[in-house]
Structure 1
Amino acid sequence: MIIIPMVGLSSRFFKAGFTKPKFQLELSGETVFSRAVRSFEHYFDSERFLFITRPDYDTPAFVSSELERLGIANASVTTIAHDTQGQAETVSLGLKDTAGSEPLLIFNIDTFRYDYRKPDFIDTCDGYLEVFSGEGDHWSFVEPGAENSVLRTTEKERISSLCSDGLYYFKTRDLFETALSEARAKNETTKGEFYIAPLYNTLIKSGASIKYEEIALSEIDFCGTPDEFEALKKKFSS
């Protein structure tokens, strides 16, 4: 299952003068939503998609309309009407009665991943993160080991140059929920929120095989801030 949580408030965009959520904005005739979801175009006919939305700004109807236009064969939309304690909790709430054995592939609604394909090792690991070599300390990071193994992850703490692009895989929902439950029990939050990348540390400590896949910056674009949005407007119009 491919899961797109999208319950953020787009606060930076509204503060910058925009009047609707960032995923509803258009870039050269195509919405941010559509560009993000088309990251997984190769799997439109084979994977089940889950979109977790807020009820405001007519978002459920907007998403349903976009999904029909994109032609995704198997998609569902669930709505959360209250704030959550971060992306990990959002995903957990949105999964509802999803089977514990269901594989989870989680991605952001404000990132464009071009021509995504699952890595060859996906069937031999318990989870993986997609990363790129980047600057700054505002990312999730991995400490790399041998053969693309992850030794540990951090949130907003730079332990290597390998930054998460927001794509996270868990072999089963049960693994994800187990890690989240432990994070809740220990109140392991960053700025009061449960992020997804740190959940892998619990699994690593239990002996799970967590890997990373490094991609080039040319394979991805970020649209999470007004400045990034404006830069992409120029890029796509040139």
Structure 2
Amino acid sequence: MSLNIVITMAGCGTRFRKSGYKLPKYEILAHGRSLFDWSLFSLKNFLFADVKVIFVCLRENNSAAYVRQRCQAWGIRDFHIIELSAVTDGQATSAYAARECWIPHDPLLIYNIDTYVNPRCLSLSNIREGSDGWVPCFQAVGEHWSFVKIDEKGWVIDLAEKKCISNYATIGLYWFSRAEYYERIYLDFFSDESNLVKGERYIAPLYRQMISENGKVSTSFLSLDDVHVLGTPEELNSFVALNPEVVF
């Protein structure tokens, strides 16, 4: 099965720099792997021979050489690097910048560079039949997440950014049945500026547009122990402190 994967890594890593890290965030090591490799390891069940992987980077980070080297190590043959001249107004926009490289009629999977999910929890077999979108989630504490509301039949009926509409939050992986579907709903949804959250364009709320058009969005429920968010120095330190047997 052909698949477009977009990895967004176009941030400045400001919190890590302020904490004294010299390397770009995606090169920082934890348990012997860089955050870049932990991200790809999460997706190992999606890295088919004919997968197209698109990395959206920030030009000032000079990521291209590192990305090429790691893709070769992973055996990823069809990869593309997009370098943005400036930070965007959110992950949704960074992913949208990859449209020049993706195959419109193939599925699209969007992921980030600072989350590790045990790959045993993620595969195409987890996607419910008839899904136009798929948003894996876990039970989260706090209000700084993208939240998912589910009906009695297990379908997603609403998503909200930084607004706790349920106990379930996304893991940061977003799947669309066709890349061109993402492109269209991005334009439709954000044509209304009230859909921005504090000026940012997030991916999770885009599914509200899909649902409003009678699209079907499914989910998978992951254990908290299988989801490791690595977006801040504090989160990274907590991950590093884990017993390797738990991590792997």
Q: TM-score under structure 1 normalisation?
A: 0.94
1:218 to 221, 225, 228: 225
How far apart, in 1, do the equivalents of 2:158 and 2:10 lie? 27
Percentage of pairs with the same residue: 27
Please tell me whether residue 201 in structure 1 is matched to residue 204 in structure 2: no
Alignment partner, residue 160 of structure 2: 154
RMSD: 1.7
2:13 to 10, 29, 45: 10
How far apart, in 1, do the equivalents of 2:139 and 2:22 lie? 34
1:41 to 39, 44, 61: 44
Unaligned regions of 5+ residues in structure 2, if any? Answer: none
Alignment partner, residue 198 of structure 2: 191
Give the 3-state SS of the residue equivalent to 1:235 in structure 2. coil
Aligned residues of 1:88 and 1:196 also touching (Cα < 8 A): yes
Shift of 1:45: 3.3
How far apart, in 2, do the equivalents of 1:223 and 1:215 lie? 17
Aligned residues of 1:134 and 1:163 also touching (Cα < 8 A): yes
Aligned residues of 2:106 and 2:178 also touching (Cα < 8 A): yes
Aligned residues of 1:54 and 1:60 also touching (Cα < 8 A): no
Please tell me whether residue 134 in structure 1 is matched to residue 140 in structure 2: yes
Alignment partner, residue 109 of structure 2: 105
Deviation by residue 1:11-59 (Cα, 9 ceiling, x = unmatched) = 1111112123211111132211111111112233332211111122321
Shift of 1:190: 0.8
Which amino acid in the other structure matches residue 76 of structure 1? H
Moved more, 92-101 or 172-181: 92-101
Aligned residues of 2:58 and 2:87 also touching (Cα < 8 A): no
Alignment partner, residue 76 of structure 2: 72
Which amino acid in the other structure matches residue 68 of structure 2? S
Q: TM-score under structure 2 normalisation?
A: 0.90
Cα 1:123–1:2 shift into 2, 3 Å: farther
Cα 1:97–1:112 shift into 2, 3 Å: closer
How far apart, in 1, do the equivalents of 2:129 and 2:78 lie? 22
Give the 3-state SS of the residue equivalent to 2:172 in structure 1. strand
How far apart, in 2, do the equivalents of 1:65 and 1:198 lie? 34
How far apart, in 2, do the equivalents of 1:131 and 1:179 lie? 21
How far apart, in 2, do the equivalents of 1:48 and 1:236 lie? 34
Which amino acid in the other structure matches residue 18 of structure 1? Y
Please tell me whether residue 92 in structure 1 is matched to residue 99 in structure 2: no
1:169 to 175, 193, 197: 175
How far apart, in 1, do the equivalents of 2:39 and 2:143 lie? 24
Shift of 1:237: 6.2
| Segments of 4+ moved more than 4 angstroms | none
How far apart, in 1, do the equivalents of 2:244 and 2:210 lie? 44
How far apart, in 2, do the equivalents of 1:206 and 1:233 lie? 43
Q: How does 1:113-132 map to 2 (within 5 A)?
A: 113-115=117-119, 116-132=122-138
How far apart, in 2, do the equivalents of 1:28 and 1:216 lie? 21
Aligned residues of 2:127 and 2:219 also touching (Cα < 8 A): no
Unaligned regions of 5+ residues in structure 1, if any? Answer: none
